[in-house]
Amino acid sequence: MKLTIVDWSIMLIYFVFVLGIGFTLKRYMKTSTDFFLSGRSIPAWITGLAFISANLGAQEVIGMGASGAKYGIATSHFYWIGAIPAMVFIGVFMMPFYYGSRARSVPEYLKLRFDEKTRGLNAISFAIMTVFSSGISLYAVGLLLGSLLGWDFNFSVLVAALIVLAYVFLGGLTSAIYNEVLQFFLIVFGFAPLVIIGLIDVGGWSGLQSRLATVATSNGFGAGAWSQSWTYMGSASSNPMGVEWFGLAMGLGFVLSFGYWCTDFLVVQRAMAADSMSAARRTPLIAALPKMFFPFLVILPGMIAIALTYQTGQSGFVLPAKADGSLNYDMAIPMMLGHYFPTGMLGVGLTALIASFMSGMAGNVTAFNTVWTYDIYQSYIKKGASDQHYLWMGRMATVFGIAISVAATYLATRFNNIMDMLQLVFAFVNAPLFATFLLGMFWKRTTGHGAFVGLLSGTLAAAIHHGSTLPKGAMPGIKGGWFGTLHTYPSEMAQNFWTAIFAWTTCFVVTIAVSLLTKPREEGELVGLVYSLTERPRETESVWYRRPTILAAIVLAGAVILNIIFW
């Protein structure tokens, strides 16, 4: 990819702004609440955009483009059923407890609702996961900039890490949130012309459909397998994802989606920074509005890329192949940028990509420094210190959190499998979480012992399920089957969805059973933490579009309509 001075200056100006925001915000960081929770003073539209941007790291952008090429429009399930319903649920039903309890983090909510050991389990596993996730982000940035621009791996990793370090260190969560909003607009403006030009090139949606029919039939599927999202979900063998509708709806649409959007502190932290209860509840709902349309921005380029690849020769565009001869789907979006953008616009597109790397990483870093400082350091290492001390600790946590991420990056370059294994373990830990929160918030009888034992058995169930099943055609090992193969799934995705379903169900049942055998807490202690003991939030907003329930109805209707259009 050849860049000129125009592209370089656009990138450079972006970096100047990022650091400039950090420096400007430095003087507002007076207390630990300013640093970790933005002083709970951010308006809803900003926290809302940050809510989706924190999730829109580069792995997401690159990964969704890759899936668009690999699976077609069915990738939209990760949005229209795999995100929107959960975002509505947290906004309408869960946020009153997160925000209303004044908990400063998700683990702290668990401490208020259950007990110290449940918080400890969640805080420590979350802290480890976020640090390594940001390491995975860095590793990806190093690889991508290397293959795209020929930058040195060490240079890319260190520059990205130092810039994120600088702006989070200076401006804390506010700085991260502001940069996420900046990144949101950059992604929209950087990718929209790509989609427009790409669609013109392939003859619009109908042109793309007929080209994708070639892709589908030459892979042995029905003609619409790449351009219709539900029609081919009847059985796992008729769609390229290799999943059937029940596993998709329960595994992705319920367990994984609700587990991520409703319990992951990385996103919940953005809503906690909102300036009022109403703003906190609106945060995920405002986020859901653009989220609904992101498939057009990130999945369509992948679909166009695969369509062009199958029209050999005509367009001159071909997805590169990996060493084993299969297509390197991860290059779909970066290659499309290079294919359609002239110098200038190319600078904007690449800047958007780099921005998504950095803010994905910053999201992890801010979640880590908060959980570390409040839930680990203040709870177990040094209680009762001054607020200034914890503010200082937050800055230090930012430094060593990033240092560990960089170390993890280099670990990944040595042992490639480590990252796959870590992600597997994270999946085991995350899968049962939503059962704990659902029971904790909506069943006052749930006890701390029940939650703790339920979480552990859910994680164990995930590991056992993964260890005893295999996706079709895979060897026992990292893909599963390490204690024999009881069942073979049609695809890795189907196996993941069912691992999640097993983990969730186990956690749900065990939590209920253990709760019934242990002593419940006094009802008086649970006011504000459990649905039946908490006053319903009153609609205080006078304007209809600021009411969470009305926004929720609009968002759900939108998701249903989109599903029907692309059925």
Q: Which residues bind other proteins (CB under 8 A)?
A: 6, 9-10, 13-14, 17, 20-21, 24-25, 28, 38-39, 41-43, 45-46, 174, 178, 181-182, 185, 189, 193, 197, 200-201, 339-345, 348, 543
Q: At 515, which amino acid appears? A: S
Q: Between β-strands 487-489 and 469-471, what pairing exists: parallel, antiparallel or unpaired?
A: parallel
Minimum distance of other proteins from residue 18's CB (angstroms): 9
Minimum distance of other proteins from residue 32's CB (angstroms): 16
Q: Toward other proteins, which CB reaches closer, 279 or 501?
A: 279
Minimum distance of other proteins from residue 328's CB (angstroms): 21
Q: How many residues does the chain have?
A: 567
Minimum distance of other proteins from residue 14's CB (angstroms): 7
Task: Give CA–CA dist 417/404, Å, rounded.
Answer: 18
Determine the 3-state secondary structure of 317 from DSSP: coil
Minimum distance of other proteins from residue 37's CB (angstroms): 12
The DSSP call for residue 236 is G
Task: Give CA–CA dist 169/399, Å, rounded.
Answer: 8
Minimum distance of other proteins from residue 56's CB (angstroms): 16
List the helix and strand counts (H, then E) for the chain: 24, 2
Minimum distance of other proteins from residue 43's CB (angstroms): 5
Q: Where are the alpha helices (DSSP H) in 150-255?
A: 153-202, 204-218, 245-247
C-alpha distances in angstroms, 216 versus 66, 71, 78, 224?
16, 10, 20, 7
Rg (CA), the chain: 23
Q: Toward other proteins, which CB reaches closer, 339 or 449?
A: 339
Q: At 75, which amino acid appears? A: T
Query: H or E element: which one contains 147?
Result: helix 116-149
Query: H or E element: which one contains 336?
Result: helix 332-340
Minimum distance of other proteins from residue 189's CB (angstroms): 6
Q: Toward other proteins, which CB reaches closer, 42 or 552?
A: 42
Q: Toward other proteins, which CB reaches closer, 206 or 237?
A: 206
Q: Toward other proteins, which CB reaches closer, 21 or 526?
A: 21
Determine the 3-state secondary structure of 246 from DSSP: helix
Q: Toward other proteins, which CB reaches closer, 283 or 515?
A: 283
Q: Toward other proteins, which CB reaches closer, 6 or 399?
A: 6
Q: Toward other proteins, which CB reaches closer, 127 or 181?
A: 181
Q: Where are the alpha helices (DSSP H) in 416-527?
A: 416-430, 433-442, 448-467, 492-517
- What is the crossing angle of helices 416-430 and 492-517, to 10°? 40
